[in-house]
Amino acid sequence: MVSSVAPPGAGVALEENPVATLDWAALQQRVENCTRCPLHETRTRTVFGTGNRNADWLIIGEAPGRDEDREGEPFVGRAGKLLTEILFAAGYQREDVYIANILKCRPPNNRDPSPEEVACCHAYLERQIELIQPALILAVGRIAAHNLLHSDLQVGRLRGRVHRYGQRQIPLIVTYHPAYLLRSPLEKRKVWDDLQLAQETYRKYLAGITDNN
């Protein structure tokens, strides 16, 4: 019987490389071709993430909505415009930070991501975090906060303090999702407070770098 084993390196599909070993280009391609969860059947485009891949600030939202699914970019439309304004108020252009979502594909009718979908997609976000090595993560909205912190507390109870994420203990701040702010504009004041906490946390990070030099 003839063996069908390929010689080392020959014919090995890219799919066989663990996500945790991929560089940016391979990771993006893996996401574009991903069929790991049923959302691939209904998406128009994957939404990989955008911005500065060397950013100190990483913004993580929920999942693509209708506009994002059409354009392939996170946080576009009215909520995206508001996020851009919020970042500007904190002294950042959108291009200064990196913006990603918990999920790379749109759940139909903008329903909440299922735990199974989040589990399927998590390796991609984890790899992005590893490649960026941010100084600070801003978790925007309930879905991002719950999945990153493994908590089911309300955003109102998770915001206002510094959490830590992952092995590197990256400081993580929770705030409201801009889509929520569009419905509840009176909460904008709290987002401003959250940004100030983020800036203070980031300043301490920079001071720590300086102290250690």
Which positions touch ligand SF4 (CB under 6 A)? 31, 34-37, 39-40, 46, 103-105, 117, 120-121
Instruction: Determine the straight-line distance between the first and last CA of the chain, rounded to whole angstroms.
Output: 64
- To the nearest whole angstrom, how small is the minimum distance from the Cβ of residue 121 to ligand SF4? 3
* C-beta closer to ligand SF4: residue 27 or 136: 27
Please identify which residue in the block is written with the tokens 């594909």.
105
**Least Cβ distance, residue 37 to ligand SF4 (angstroms):** 3
Of residues 39 and 99, the one with the C-beta less far from ligand SF4 = 39
Determine the distance from the C-alpha atom of residue 102 to the mean position of all C-alpha atoms in its chain, rounded to a whole number.
Answer: 5
Bridge partners of residue 100, in order along the sequence: 60
Closer of 104 and 146 to ligand SF4 (Cβ): 104
Shortest Å, Cβ 69 to ligand SF4: 11
Handedness of CA 87, 148, 178, 160 (dihedral sign): negative
- The token duo for 82 is 């508001």
Least distance (Å) between residue 15 CB and ligand SF4: 12
- Judged by beta carbon, residue 135 or residue 148, the one nearer ligand SF4 is 148
Instruction: Name the nearest CA neighbour of 53 among 105, 93, 22, 99.
Output: 99
